[in-house]
Chain A
Amino acid sequence: MFKWLHPLAKPEILYHFCGRLLPWLMGSAVLTLLFGNIWGLAFSPPDYQQFDTVRIIYIHVPSALLSMATYTIMAIAAFTALVWQIKVVQWAVLAIAPIGAVFTAIALLTGMAWGKPMWGTWWEWDARLTSELILLFLYLGVIALAGAFSDRQTGTKVACLLALVGFVNVPIIHFSVEWWNTLHQGASITKFDKPSVHPSMLWPLLISLLGFYLLMLALFCVRLRTAILQNEQHRPWVKSALGGQ
């Protein structure tokens, strides 16, 4: 079933594969982000009770969703890396962690900037906010653990294990607003019901979300290529790929 994936486990082939994807991903990410954010921030209508403050949604919701989506990708990669011990997948775990950490930080900071004018507080230790903060610490923990061992191979394995075990937190973040009383409101778009956002605000939001996804994949390609080059720097194919520099 996964036969088509096998060639991509070879660093050289994956390097060139990511190189071919990158311009398309980056180009479409820039276009959709510009389109979605300009529509959302400048042309979508203000909310009936939050007025213009609601526009933070076009940054906050995509980055919060991406912080969890990125973690899911990282956890799947970590699982694959632990069981099949494929080198490029191990590098992929370490390549994607900082991207997720930045999305989580953006989600937390924009959430605070939104919470102050609307709720009346920068921070409250409610279940949603706390579990998202734990997600940031999990990302930072994965990055730190990978570098904490003198043997790089051990460090990577331990980091993969943390990345995988930490996945427990992702459903907790998602369902925190249903399981417990929280200050944070319930889900608007990631639910089975009809989204509770009016179409005039939903469309720019979904386009921004697509832009964030594409941006994450593009950054992942960049970081994975760098990781492959760093790890394979003494191989002859790297010299020829870089034009014999």
Chain B
Amino acid sequence: MNSRRQKRLWSVLSIVILVAGAIGAMLYALQQNINLFYTPTQLVEGIGKDKIRPEIGQRLRIGGLVVEGSVQRDPESLLVRFDLVDTGPIVTVEYEGILPDLFREGQGIVAQGHLVNERLIRATEVLAKHDEEYMPAEVAKALMGIEHVPPSQQTSYGSEGSY
């Protein structure tokens, strides 16, 4: 390699390393802003060393698993109330509106709304998460004992007794 090429190699490499370092530092500093949602543990116990907790009334997103048996529907309206959990504390979400098809007990969801009190969120939007496991229905039934009925074949809500 001649010296002009070597010079170009070093200048190009140093530009790349500097830019990568700058972006890495930025992403590290903004870590909490890039997270899409709080988990119930983060909401209740706070984040990081300083245990920073969101304030009452703050708009935020909360993400967790819907606790089995916690979904309560108001028979008169679209109001629904359910609990979310990740590894420890449980928080409650209230939502009035249509839930996504994937919403069910045990499913991961992300809700956007504002914090009413320490453990209650009034949501304006509920989104369903799904995991990276894909398999046919028969395999899911054999492996995990899950039986899901396609929306088109559901007779009425509550056909499985859960919602």
State whether A186 touches B135 (Cβ < 8 A).
no
Query: At the interface, is chain B mostly helix, strand, loop or mixed?
Result: mixed
> Bound state CA distance, A188 and B16, in angstroms?
30
Enumerate chain A residues within 8 angstroms of B9, measured Cβ to Cβ.
83
Q: B146 at interface (Cβ–Cβ under 8 A)? A: yes
A56-83 interface with B by 8 A CB criterion: 57, 79, 82-83
Q: Which of B127, B140, B150 has the most CB of A within 10 A?
A: B127
Q: B39 at interface (Cβ–Cβ under 8 A)? A: yes
Checking B16, B34, B128 against A119 with a beta-carbon cut-off of 8 angstroms, the contacting residue is B128
State whether A198 touches B31 (Cβ < 8 A).
no
How many residues in B have their beta carbons less than 8 Å from beta carbons of A?
43
Enumerate chain B residues within 8 angstroms of A79, measured Cβ to Cβ.
12
Checking A50, A127, A161, A197 against B130 with a beta-carbon cut-off of 8 angstroms, the contacting residue is A50
Q: A192 at interface (Cβ–Cβ under 8 A)? A: no
Checking B39, B125, B134 against A57 with a beta-carbon cut-off of 8 angstroms, the contacting residue is B134
State whether B36 touches A164 (Cβ < 8 A).
no
Q: B8 at interface (Cβ–Cβ under 8 A)? A: yes
> Bound state CA distance, A127 and B30, in angstroms?
12
State whether B16 touches A164 (Cβ < 8 A).
yes
Q: A187 at interface (Cβ–Cβ under 8 A)? A: yes
A172-208 interface with B by 8 A CB criterion: 172, 179-183, 185-188, 196-198, 200-201
State whether B36 touches A181 (Cβ < 8 A).
yes
Known A118-B128, A183-B36, A183-B127; judge A201-B135 contact (CB<8 A): yes
> Bound state CA distance, A200 and B24, in angstroms?
39
The residues of A with any CB-CB pair to B shorter than 8 Å are: 45-51, 54, 57, 79, 82-85, 117-121, 124-127, 161, 164-165, 167-168, 172, 179-183, 185-188, 196-198, 200-201
The residues of B with any CB-CB pair to A shorter than 8 Å are: 5, 8-9, 12, 15-16, 19-20, 23-24, 27, 31, 34-37, 39, 63, 99-102, 110, 125-141, 146, 148, 150
